[in-house]
Structure 1
Amino acid sequence: MIYKYTTLALLLMCVVIGIYVVQFHFILGYKISHNTSDWVDFSDFVGGLLGPLLSFLSFVLLLHSLKQQNRANAFLIEEAKNNRKNEKFRVFETHFFNLINVQRTSFDTFDISIKYANTCAKFNHVDGVIKIEDCIQEFRNKGASDAEITTWLDNIDCSEKVYNTLRIFCNIVKVISEKLTDDNGFNLDDRRQQYHSLISLTEFSQLRMVLMGLQFIDCPQAKWLQDHEEFVNVLKETGLDIGIY
């Protein structure tokens, strides 16, 4: 761009001198002067004519330089912003996957004791979730209300295994909501992607236990998740919903 304007300035100078030579030498028949003062006058003429033009070109070049500098500054600012966002996301990912591991470890030790056929049997891991679902279905077949199922679930969950499963899951959702905020440079799509990741990385039986906790456990975590519109919408997108039991 600078080369372009420099060429234009030289071209203007040649045009001015060329017009002067044609007008006074070829048309008016003036001879080339050997008087020094005549050449001084000629240089004053050329300088007076080209000075404003060259000043204007300098101004244009200055504006162009400022424009290029503003673009470079905007690029650097955007790059720094992206670097900060990427660093925040790396910190978030570390925390997120640590909590996923905690959730998985916690569910590996999940067990529940349920009275069945006049005996109290202990069910572990996936079997425990399936047994609770079977019992809830039996209660529903007998016309039991949510309150009655809640009371029954509180009685069998004396070691708070169901509540702990819900609490850990709720903490992960909170990490996504609080770390990937709009103020930190993220948006709804970023959070939705992580909600989907959480649901995908949560064992399906454990996810069903979370849904049971949301429906039947009366605690702040359950209330918070029920009111979390972003998460509930993602849950529905996956074919799940609160209140399926």
Structure 2
Amino acid sequence: MIRYVVVAAISVLLTIAAYFIWFYVHLNQEISPKSSTWGEFGSYVGGVLGPVLSFISLFFLIKSLTLQNQANEALRNEAKEAEKSEQLKAFSAVFFHMIDSQKVLLEKLAIDHRLEDGSIVTKTGAAAIITIENEVKKLRSIGAEDEHIAEYITKIDSTDQIFGILRAFYVTTKMVSEKITDQRGFSTIERTDFFNTLLAFTDFAQLRLIIMGIQFTDSAAARYLRGNGELISVLRDAHLPLDLY
């Protein structure tokens, strides 16, 4: 912008210098005391400099409008970032509450397991999940198909505890996918961060049980989780394929 001010100043000086050189030096005329002559001089200066100064004024106007638009855009971006930050803050509170709810479900998990001598013991929490995994391995070792393992899971889950754990994970996953959307200014990177956090804060035994539920059950929750490409990608990166069993 400074260069245009310099151009304007040089234009003024050149215009006056040209007038002076032509009339005072070349034509050898004296400086006139007549007001009419000075009026003609003013008309000359205005006629020559008017278009130049008008152009420079127009440039300054356009430049000022551009700067104003940039300032307005910066304010809009700041407002969007502030809104996004508030959304993340509110979402994170609900998200971590959901993770805490999952921990409660794991603590309440209990199954009855029949020992070889016929006695029944109650396994709880992670111990219950390990027991289920061992039974699934035994079934696999004798050639059991997926449907037989699904029947076993249904049999031991008469009170829908496993389904409850699977559904809680499904609700949290769905919340990430539907709230942290591109339309709201978020990206795959942020959704992936939340999915990684979900895996990190979920007990590993509980996570294996969830994968078992995804692999063998056919509930709406299991179908949704199987079809969530971003979640599946995160699970694979964590070396947790859906055919773990």
What is the TM-score when the length of structure 1 is the normalising length?
0.95
In 2, Cα distance between equivalents of 1:234 and 1:203: 16
**2:235 equivalent in structure 1:** 235
Q: How do 1:96-245 residues align onto structure 2 when only pairs under 5 Å count?
A: 96-117=95-116, 118-245=118-245
Percent of aligned positions that are identical: 33
Following superposition, the deviation at residue 148 of structure 1 comes to 1.3
After TM superposition, give the deviation of residue 4 of structure 1 in Å. Answer: 4.5
1:84-95 aligned at under 5 Å gives the runs: 84-95=83-94
The alignment's C-alpha RMSD in Å is 1.3
**8 A contact 1:211–1:242 mirrored in 2:** yes
Amino acid at match of 2:226: Q
Q: Is the 8 A contact 1:112 1:161 kept in 2?
A: no
CA distance in 2, matches of 1:6, 1:212: 74
Shift of 1:10: 2.7
* Paired residue secondary structure (1:51): helix
2:92 maps to amino acid: E
| Conserved? CA contact 1:163–1:217, under 8 Å | no
Matches of 1:120 and 1:150 in 2, distance apart? 22
Opposite residue 163 of structure 2, the aligned amino acid is Y
Which string of whole-angstrom CA distances, capped at 9 and with x for unpartnered residues, describes residues 88-127 of structure 1?
1112111101101111122122211122221221011111
Task: Give the structure 1 partner of residue 31 of structure 2.
Answer: 32
Quote the Cα distance in structure 2 between the aligned partners of 1:151 and 1:32. Answer: 114
Letter in 1 for 2:165: T
Q: Where in structure 1 are there 5+ consecutive unaligned residues?
A: none
Deviations, residues 127-173 of structure 1 (Å, cap 9, x unaligned):
11111111111111111111111112211111211111111111110
TM-score for both structures, normalised by structure 2: 0.95
Taking the aligned partners of 2:30 and 2:150, their CA distance within structure 1 comes to 114
